[in-house]
Structure 1
Amino acid sequence: MLKSIDPLLNADVLYALRSMGHGDDLVLCDTNFPADSVARQTVLGRLLRIDNVSAGRAARAVLSVLPLDSFVDKPASRMEIVGQPDEIPPVQQEVQAQIDAAEGRSFPMGSVERFAFYELAKKSYCVIQTGERRFYGCFIFKKGVIPPDAD
């Protein structure tokens, strides 16, 4: 255990989060996502896991250390429901609440069509699979920066 680090953030996940640079994308996905095959195509090249927790709880852990990119319009995106792109299911509402809490303000997610989401995921830095079993518990977060300390 580490002081002030969410215990869900295992060593492999922390390594990836620290290794990412400004503008790199992270995929947080549910148990139904083709995580292993997609992860093999990412920069990291292997699947990371935060098992046995919901997407919302995993998002809270990740966002406790990962700044979202303030230089783009939508640094967080969700996978759209097929045939209902404007519907936001409870799993996505829960992650939206975690994003808003981490940012300290309303910070609406963008949305990405399912197959376009898969293509973006393949180009990401890494994929973290959660224990989320509800459908459409898949998200992309773009890493931002931490400003220097004021002297």
Structure 2
Amino acid sequence: MLIGISPLLNADVLHALRAMGHGDDLILADTNFPADSIARQTTIGRVLRIDNVSAAIAARAILSVYPLDTFVDDAAGRMEVVGDPNAVPDVQKEVQAVLDETQATAFPLIPVERFAFYERAKKAYCVIQTGERRFYGCFALRKGVVPADAA
């Protein structure tokens, strides 16, 4: 255990978050996401896990140590609902609420078409699969910078 760091952030996840650089993507995935096959194509090359918690709980733990990129418009993305691109399921509303609570800058979740999301995920640094069982609990979070005075 570490003081001030969520116990949900296991050693593998902490290592990945620390190793990532500015502009690298992290994919937060639900249980239905093809995490293993997609993760094999990422920089890490294997799926990481934060098991038995919702996407929002995992996002809160990650965002406690992970800055989002303020230089781009799509630092926070969500998988678009197939056939209803304007729909925002509850799981996505919950993660948006976490973003709103934890970030000093507004980061609206940008919808990303399903297959475009898979392509973004393949280019990501890592995929972290959660215990989220609701559909469309998949998010892309682009890493920002930590200012010298905040380190």
TM-score greater than 0.5 by the shorter chain: yes
| Cα distance between partner residues in 1 of 2:46 and 2:107 | 30
Please name the residue that 2:26 is paired with: 26
Shift of 1:101: 1.1
Unaligned stretches of 5+ in structure 2? none
| Cα distance between partner residues in 2 of 1:95 and 1:88 | 11
Please name the residue that 1:87 is paired with: 87
Shift of 1:149: 1.4
| Cα distance between partner residues in 1 of 2:113 and 2:106 | 23
Residues 113-145 of structure 1 show CA distances to partners (whole Å, capped at 9, x for unaligned) of 001100110000000000000000000000000
| Cα distance between partner residues in 2 of 1:81 and 1:125 | 24
Any conservation in 1 of the 2:75–2:107 contact (CA below 8 Å)? no
Please name the residue that 1:137 is paired with: 137
Please name the residue that 1:38 is paired with: 38
Please state if 1:102 is matched with 2:98: no
Residues 58-103 of structure 1 show CA distances to partners (whole Å, capped at 9, x for unaligned) of 0000100000000001200000000111110000000001111111
SS in 2 for 1:60: helix
SS in 1 for 2:67: coil
Please name the residue that 2:11 is paired with: 11
Residues 17-56 of structure 1 show CA distances to partners (whole Å, capped at 9, x for unaligned) of 0000000000000000000000000001011000000000
* Corresponding letter in the other structure for 1:42: T
TM-score (norm 1): 0.97
SS in 2 for 1:6: coil
Please name the residue that 1:122 is paired with: 122
SS in 2 for 1:5: coil
Amino-acid identity (%): 71
Provide the aligned length of Structure 1 versus Structure 2. Answer: 150
Aligned CA distance change for structure 1 residues 50 and 120 (closer, same or farther; 3 Å)? same
TM-score (norm 2): 0.97
Unaligned stretches of 5+ in structure 1? none
Q: Give every structure 1 segment of 4 or more consecutive aligned residues whose post-TM-superposition deviation is greater than 3 Å.
A: none
| Cα distance between partner residues in 1 of 2:20 and 2:149 | 20
| Cα distance between partner residues in 2 of 1:13 and 1:95 | 19
SS in 1 for 2:36: helix
Please name the residue that 1:73 is paired with: 73
| Cα distance between partner residues in 1 of 2:149 and 2:131 | 37
Please name the residue that 1:47 is paired with: 47
| Cα distance between partner residues in 2 of 1:87 and 1:45 | 32
